Amino acid sequence: AQKVTQAQTEISVVEKEDVTLDCVYETRDTTYYLFWYKQPPSGELVFLIRRNSFDEQNEISGRYSWNFQKSTSSFNFTITASQVVDSAVYFCALSETTYNQGGKLIFGQGTELSVKP
């Protein structure tokens, strides 16, 4: 069965600190996709990144970076020099490429990040 685990329920940091959000996943498929979403207090899920299972290259986008390691089934997310506006709940998610499922997402429980000034 597919499963996503985000072991950190809450993280609190001071502005400008670096912070890493952990994500571990389980799947029996060889082809799958991994996602990170941000959910601010307004409630809408904001897409951050999508990676496929064949691309293990780390990715950097501004202050955000992602470390994908198939050997440990992990897809961790790092925010460098955190800012107050980064405060939100972050979700890691997994989808499989099964036609009839259309890419439905399996979400982790989320990590609530609080960045204090």
Looking at 13, 33, 49, 73, which residue binds another protein (CB under 8 A)? 33
Is residue 54 involved in binding another protein (CB under 8 A)? no
Number of H helices and E strands in the chain, helices first, is 0, 12
Q: CA 95, CA 83: separation in Å to the nearest integer? A: 30
Which residue, 80 or 105, is less far from another protein as judged by CB?
105
Q: CA 47, CA 18: separation in Å to the nearest integer? A: 21
Least distance CB 19 / another protein (angstroms): 19
Q: Per DSSP, what are the bridge partners of residue 96?
A: 32
Looking at 19, 79, 106, 115, which residue binds another protein (CB under 8 A)? 106
Least distance CB 98 / another protein (angstroms): 9
Looking at 29, 72, 83, 103, which residue binds another protein (CB under 8 A)? 103
Both structure tokens of 24: 């571990």
